């Protein structure tokens, strides 16, 4: 599987700042042909991404979507609007949206279905709220995935990306989860997803305080199919460095 490395800017960077970020990043990542890269800007910057990233190695997408095709939903953005802007990925179920907007697994299922209807890839975030024993975390994560993916056809799961993002490892002051534990959790999620997708592999990427120091150790773990970077990647040079992380076995990297 090709590694998948991306960033969400959350509610950061104006359209002008987005333009400058792309100007800085593009020459640094243009040679990276063995991996897939993506950026999820705020809605207001997606048009800039479309202008600057077409024909480059970086795909783009959105951080959320409304499940309806259109209508009286003031302030919301629909899947056809995102598809029309060339979005390839749509993030769904980030812990900040679950926490701040009360998003439930039923709503997330409807969002996933909308993204799939419009030919894009849902990037579903799942994570445990607090540190816990690995087996307990896996049970909780699988229960969440089971609820969020209810009714999604196995064939459609091949377009899904799952981001394992422990809530406690995200944001200012947090530290990333231990790579070996991340690997164990990813392999459990991947086995469950593969079974549900009738034998097709579903990528599982890790997010939560990823920086350059830990990126290669995470990517060296079997089962870690990529990285999802938050605040560290607001600096374009940081993103480019992580995007260029050597991919190899744990022994090669250590
Ligand atoms: C995130 O919130 O998805 C994330 C990965 O954030 P950070 O890297 O800043 O912890």
Q: Of all protein residues, whose CA lies closest to atom 4 belonging to ligand 1?
A: 230
Query: Is position 186 annotated as part of the catalytic site?
Result: no
Predicted pLDDT at 228: 98
DSSP 204: E
Q: What is the Cα–Cα distance from 164 to 156, expressed in whole angstroms?
A: 19
Mind listing the pLDDT tens digit of every residue in the chain (254 residues)? 999 999 999 999 999 999 999 999 999 999 999 999 999 999 999 999 999 999 999 999 999 999 999 999 999 999 999 999 999 999 999 999 999 999 999 999 999 999 999 999 999 999 999 999 999 999 999 999 999 999 999 999 999 999 999 999 999 999 999 999 999 999 999 999 999 999 999 999 999 999 999 999 999 999 999 999 999 999 999 999 999 998 864 444 44
Q: Which of 94, 128, 186, 221 is catalytic?
A: 94
C-beta 64 within 6 A of ligand 1: no
Q: Of all protein residues, whose CA lies closest to atom 6 belonging to ligand 1?
A: 230
Q: Count CB atoms within 10 A of the CB of residue 27.
A: 9
Residues across the chain: 254
What's the CA-to-centroid distance between 198 and ligand 1, angstroms?
31
C-beta 216 within 6 A of ligand 1: no
Nearest to 189 by CA among 134, 121, 120: 134
Question: What are the phi and psi torsion angles at 88 (to 5°)?
Answer: -105, -30
Enter the pTM of the model: 0.96
Contact 5, 242 (CB under 8 A): yes
Q: What is the Cα–Cα distance from 52 to 237, expressed in whole angstroms?
A: 17
DSSP 44: G
C-beta 214 within 6 A of ligand 1: no
Query: Is position 165 annotated as part of the catalytic site?
Result: yes
Q: Report the run of H or E that residue 124 belongs to, with start and end.
A: strand 121-126
3-state secondary structure of 137: helix
Which spans in the chain are helix H? 15-29, 46-53, 79-84, 95-101, 105-117, 134-148, 179-196, 212-219, 236-243, 250-253
Which atom of ligand 1 sits closest to the CA of residue 163? 3
C-beta 202 within 6 A of ligand 1: no
Contact 161, 206 (CB under 8 A): no
What's the CA-to-centroid distance between 123 and ligand 1, angstroms?
14
C-beta 207 within 6 A of ligand 1: yes
3-state secondary structure of 59: strand
Predicted pLDDT at 247: 82
Q: Which of 91, 103, 128, 165 is catalytic?
A: 165
Nearest to 224 by CA among 181, 177, 171, 182: 182
Q: What is the Cα–Cα distance from 40 to 45, expressed in whole angstroms?
A: 9
């Amino acid at each position: 599987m090709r590694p998948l490395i991306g960033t969400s800017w959350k509610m950061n960077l104006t359209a002008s700042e987005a333009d400058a970020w792309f100007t800085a990043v593009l020459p640094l990542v243009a040679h990276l042909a063995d991996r897939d890269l993506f950026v999820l800007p705020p809605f207001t910057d997606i048009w800039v991404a479309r202008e600057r990233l077409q024909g480059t190695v970086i795909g783009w997408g959105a951080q959320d979507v409304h499940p309806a095709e259109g209508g009286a939903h003031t302030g919301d953005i629909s899947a056809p609007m995102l598809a029309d802007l060339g979005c390839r990925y749509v993030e769904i179920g980030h812990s900040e949206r679950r926490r701040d907007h009360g998003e439930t697994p039923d709503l997330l299922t409807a969002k996933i279905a909308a993204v799939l209807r419009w030919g894009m890839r849902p990037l579903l975030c799942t994570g445990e709220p607090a540190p816990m024993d690995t087996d307990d975390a896996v049970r909780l994560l699988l229960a969440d995935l089971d609820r969020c993916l209810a009714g999604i056809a196995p064939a459609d799961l091949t377009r899904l990306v799952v981001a394992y993002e422990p809530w406690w490892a995200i944001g200012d002051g947090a530290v990333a989860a231990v790579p070996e534990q991340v690997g164990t959790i990813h392999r459990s999620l991947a086995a469950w997803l593969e079974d549900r997708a009738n034998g097709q592999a579903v990528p599982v990427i890790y997010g939560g305080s990823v920086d350059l120091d830990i990126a290669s150790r995470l990517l060296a773990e079997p089962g870690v199919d990529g990285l999802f970077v938050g605040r560290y990647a607001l600096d374009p040079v940081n993103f480019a460095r992580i995007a260029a992380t050597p991919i190899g076995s744990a022994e090669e990297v250590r």
